[in-house]
């Protein structure tokens, strides 16, 4: 049972969202004289950096998901509720959820981001997003469904649109996904689908600017593009999507590609419950915070991670939407809350320590930037694997992931090729 404000002996900190940021706040508050109540619409934490491996069948969904209650089983001051938070009532310091209302003394909004289709409703209707485990599983099913459909079509021109796979967005998600789908083409197609030939399948990566991996160094961008080419991925730069009707994707340069599969990795926007006034919301639907991660004008309310925008002269567009930002902000906020409870001032503003960026392209190639230091190829891939293995939650998940990667490395042929839930995409009009 959860007690009301007047009945509690410790202050209650509500965290909305059990992603990278929210989990870190809760962990850092272990053994403190507070009540931590984490609310999430899912009962698990998702390790999003490996989501593309679920979408392409290298990993099962339970390798990248970890039950939140299990994660905190030894934390006595921790409570969890499975619910959708609908509204924040700052006057009464309450959150209104799908299972009832909870009052808070401190509130941390760590609700992350969702896919941004930039208002293009047609694209939103037919393209596949990849922001949740469910969406990643949809992609897995849909890619396999389209290969099955292609087999049924005798005419090469007819099968073309089932065998063209288009990924929009040349950031790490798009690059990693393109590489992984290209490997399906190289190592799985011939074995599982002898009716189809390898050269019939095409993987396209569409990027609106003049380079992929725009947030990484010039060298990483160039190397990644070369690796994609070696895998057979056709990268179209300076190309913007103007429409997708479920059968054909069209671009601003007048070109088009017949395709049944468009995967959208071109943008995200913050998501949060009602109750935040629009003047506190920045570009990309992110909540503006001050240097101490607090939502201005909302006492005791913090916003961290992908949903937040900490804008300074040095970071006019806010901090990058990556896991380390959310985690470091989570730790900072936990300390800030404890200082506030203990009437201690927090002198320093939050500063982000950027350890570097990386992306993998296929089975044994990656690019890594750490400050001015750049790595590529196999060594970078080993580094990428190591960093992801140590970061993923749970001993079992680490072991299962490692075993899967080893089998894939040795056989080139691992993969979960199951259509458990058929994905029923809306049918195009024509």
Ligand X SMILES: Cc1cc2nc3c(=O)[nH]c(=O)nc-3n(C[C@H](O)[C@H](O)[C@H](O)COP(=O)(O)OP(=O)(O)OC[C@H]3O[C@@H](n4cnc5c(N)ncnc54)[C@H](O)[C@@H]3O)c2cc1C
- The catalytic residues are 176
Instruction: Please answer whether residues 367 and 185 qualify as being in contact, where contact means their C-beta atoms are separated by less than 8 angstroms.
Output: no
Pinpoint the alpha helices (H) of 85-132. 121-126
Closest CA to 341 of 10, 31, 2, 84: 10
Which run of H or of E encompasses 58?
A: none
| Residue listed under structure tokens 């926007």 | 269
Residue from 12, 79, 131, 260 that binds ligand X (CB under 6 A)? 131
Hey, which residues between 84 and 113 contact ligand X (CB under 6 A)? Answer: 84-85, 110-112
* Footprint of ligand X on 8-27 (CB under 6 A): 16-22
At closest approach, how far in Å is the CB of 406 from ligand X? 21
| Segment near ligand X (CB under 6 A); pick from 158-166, 185-193, 317-325, 346-354 | 317-325
Among 144, 167, 326, 361, binds ligand X (CB under 6 A): 326
Binding of residue 428 to ligand X (CB under 6 A)? no
What phi and psi values does residue 286 have, to the nearest 5 degrees? -110, 145
- Contact between 328 and ligand X (CB under 6 A)? no
In this chain, which of 41, 269, 363, 374 binds ligand X, going by CB under 6 A? 41
Q: Which stretch binds ligand X (CB under 6 A): 45-53, 209-217, 255-263, 371-379?
A: 45-53
Stretches 40-48, 118-126, 190-198, 398-406: which one binds ligand X (CB under 6 A)?
A: 40-48
Of 25, 29, 40, 303, which one interacts with ligand X (CB under 6 A)?
40
Residue 306 within binding range of ligand X, rule CB under 6 A = yes
By CB under 6 A, tell whether 350 contacts ligand X.
no
Please give the Cα distance from 403 to 399 (Å, whole number). Answer: 6
> How far apart, in whole angstroms, are the C-alpha atoms of residue 79 and residue 68?
10
Q: Which of 202, 185, 238, 224 is nearest to 358 (CA)?
A: 224
Q: How near is the Cβ of 307 to ligand X at its closest, in Å?
A: 6
List the structure tokens of 272.
């949060």
Pattern 154-173, ligand X, x by CB under 6 A? ------------------xx
Helix axes 133-152, 156-163, angle to 10 degrees: 170
Q: How far is the CB of 248 from ligand X (least distance, A)?
A: 26
Q: Which is nearer to ligand X, 258 or 284 (CB)?
A: 284
- Tell whether residue 130 is a contact of ligand X (CB under 6 A): yes
User: Torsions phi, psi of 36, nearest 5?
Assistant: -105, 120
Contacts of 188 (CB under 8 A, 6+ apart): 413, 415, 417
Single out the residue of 26, 88, 323, 337 in contact with ligand X (rule: CB under 6 A). Answer: 323
DSSP state of 65: E
Tell the residue number behind the tokens 């990027």, with chain if given.
207
C-beta of 134 vs 199, nearer to ligand X: 134
Question: How far, in Å, CA of 69 to CA of 81, rounded?
Answer: 9
Q: Radius of gyration (Cα) for the chain, nearest Å? A: 23
| Residues engaged in binding ligand X (CB under 6 A) | 16-22, 39-42, 48-49, 51-52, 84-85, 110-112, 130-131, 172-173, 271, 273, 305-307, 321-324, 326
């Amino acid at each position: 049972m959860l007690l009301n404000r007047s009945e509690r002996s410790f202050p209650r900190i509500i965290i909305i969202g059990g992603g990278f940021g929210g989990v870190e706040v809760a962990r850092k508050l272990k053994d403190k004289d507070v009540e931590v109540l984490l609310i999430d619409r899912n009962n698990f934490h998702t390790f999003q950096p490996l989501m593309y491996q679920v979408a392409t069948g290298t990993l099962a969904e339970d390798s990248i998901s970890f039950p939140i209650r299990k994660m905190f089983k030894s934390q006595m001051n921790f409570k969890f509720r499975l619910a959708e938070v609908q509204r924040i009532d700052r006057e009464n310091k309450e959150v209104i959820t799908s299972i009832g209302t909870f009052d808070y003394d401190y509130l941390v909004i760590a609700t992350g981001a969702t896919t941004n289709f930039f208002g293009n409703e047609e694209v939103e209707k037919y393209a596949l997003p990849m922001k949740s485990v469910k969406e990643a599983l949809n992609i897995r099913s849909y890619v396999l469904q389209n290969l099955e459909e292609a087999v049924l079509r005798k005419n090469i021109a007819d099968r073309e649109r089932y065998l063209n796979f288009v990924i929009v967005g040349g950031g790490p998600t798009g690059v990693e996904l393109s590489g992984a789908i290209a490997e399906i083409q190289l190592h799985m197609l011939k074995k599982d689908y002898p009716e189809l030939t390898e050269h019939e399948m095409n993987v396209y990566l569409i990027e609106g600017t003049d380079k992929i991996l725009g947030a990484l160094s010039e060298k990483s961008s160039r190397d990644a593009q070369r690796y994609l080419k070696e895998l057979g991925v056709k990268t179209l730069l300076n190309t913007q999507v103007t429409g997708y009707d479920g059968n054909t994707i069209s671009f601003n340069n007048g070109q088009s590609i017949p395709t049944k599969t468009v995967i959208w990795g071109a943008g995200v926007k913050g998501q949060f419950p009602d109750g935040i006034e629009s003047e506190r919301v920045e570009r990309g639907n992110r909540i503006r915070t001050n240097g101490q991660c607090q939502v201005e004008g909302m006492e005791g309310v913090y916003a961290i991670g992908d949903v937040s925008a900490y804008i300074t002269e040095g970071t006019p567009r806010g901090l990058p939407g990556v896991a380390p930002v959310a985690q470091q902000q989570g730790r900072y906020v936990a300390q800030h809350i404890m200082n506030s409870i203990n009437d201690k001032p927090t002198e320093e503003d939050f500063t982000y320590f950027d350890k570097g960026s990386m992306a993998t392209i296929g089975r044994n190639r990656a690019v890594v930037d750490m400050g001015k230091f750049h790595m590529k190829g196999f060594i970078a891939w080993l580094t990428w694997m190591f960093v992801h293995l140590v970061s993923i939650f749970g001993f079992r998940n680490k072991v299962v992931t490692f075993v899967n990667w080893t089998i894939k490395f040795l056989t080139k042929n691992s993969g979960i090729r199951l259509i458990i839930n058929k994905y029923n995409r809306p049918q195009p009009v024509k």
